[in-house]
A and B are shown apart, each in its own frame.
Chain A
């Protein structure tokens, strides 16, 4: 879902940067308050893992592939969507500047879609489902899936404003592909990784996953 430079006119791309900047600023502020020597290794491990897994495109049929985004996973581990914004911003900076994966002018839109929208929708959906006594697996699966789907629909709307995609066919195509990418690439991997963390390091999820006290939302 990395938008290249040519897909959005410059003035609109700058507009998305202007919207993204306060979110990036807030994510740095979150880190200033919540990061400590204990949590830095966790953040770094997740960031490296997400960069690497984004290189692994999974075939979904229809001649199409997709990969995990990861903002919901990071947000759940740190019990804050700002953590997802921070990690995705760093990953997108390296992808854009070093590998030309996603444009530089369009990086604001990419941070907004993958860092902000997918992470916020994913995390708060997860929190709401946990508070309705659904399991960690089901809640994180649905949250991560929905976060990815909504961010793809937002991307389709941006493509419409850009004059690049027609509205309805764009929404249908982006929605169809990312409905499936969200199930396999996002939902399943998020649930599996969280299950592994819950088994090996349950203390890491103490803030995000307290079965009988609900989730901070």
Chain B
């Protein structure tokens, strides 16, 4: 029993440490992240002709998301920090909540 209580409190500590690291990453990434295209985008630029690529890139997404591209209009880097922090907390809440709902017992 006492072993369970110890493990439980150290798992809570693990959660706090994880959240702090995640929030630090969220705050720093708008300043540190490379703005170069990612592997898929770079590959697309290399293997698709320009005309078709422009067509694919300009196509409207199937769903218009509330905070597209992690940026909030007129807020610059601060907006990106807010967006990624919000996303991190949202994933935290959903995974914690879902974990509690579907857990065993």
How far, in angstroms, from A28 to B95 measured CA to CA in the complex?
Answer: 11
Q: Which segment of A33-41, A128-136, A209-217 sits at the interface?
A: A33-41
Q: Which B residue's beta carbon lies closest to that of A31?
A: B102
A44-B95, A65-B38, A165-B44 known; A101+B69 contact, CB < 8 A: yes
A90 touches B91 (CB 8 A): yes
**Contact residues, B15-29 vs A (CB, 8 A):** 15, 17-19, 21-23, 25-26, 28-29
A52-B25, A204-B14 known; A98+B95 contact, CB < 8 A: no
Instruction: List residues of chain A with CB within 8 A of the CB of B105.
Output: 36
Q: Which B residue's beta carbon lies closest to that of A113?
A: B40
Q: Kindly state whether residue B7 has any CB partner on chain A within 8 Å.
A: yes
How far, in angstroms, from A55 to B71 measured CA to CA in the complex?
Answer: 12
Q: Kindly state whether residue B51 has any CB partner on chain A within 8 Å.
A: no
How far, in angstroms, from A177 to B44 measured CA to CA in the complex?
Answer: 12
B43 touches A177 (CB 8 A): yes
Within the complex, the shortest CB–CB distance from A88 to chain B, in Å, comes to 11
A98 touches B87 (CB 8 A): yes
Interface of B is mostly: helix
B36 touches A63 (CB 8 A): yes
Q: Mark A1-29, 1 if CB is under 8 A from B, else 0.
A: 11111110000000000000000000010
Q: Kindly state whether residue A56 has any CB partner on chain B within 8 Å.
A: yes
**Contact residues, B86-105 vs A (CB, 8 A):** 86-92, 94-96, 98-100, 102-105
Q: Kindly state whether residue B62 has any CB partner on chain A within 8 Å.
A: yes
Within the complex, the shortest CB–CB distance from B102 to chain A, in Å, comes to 5
**Contact residues, B56-105 vs A (CB, 8 A):** 56-57, 59, 61-70, 83-84, 86-92, 94-96, 98-100, 102-105
Question: Mind listing 15 A-B residue pairs with CB under 8 Å?
Answer: A1-B38, A2-B38, A6-B55, A6-B61, A36-B105, A45-B18, A46-B18, A48-B91, A52-B26, A67-B38, A99-B87, A100-B61, A104-B61, A104-B62, A173-B42
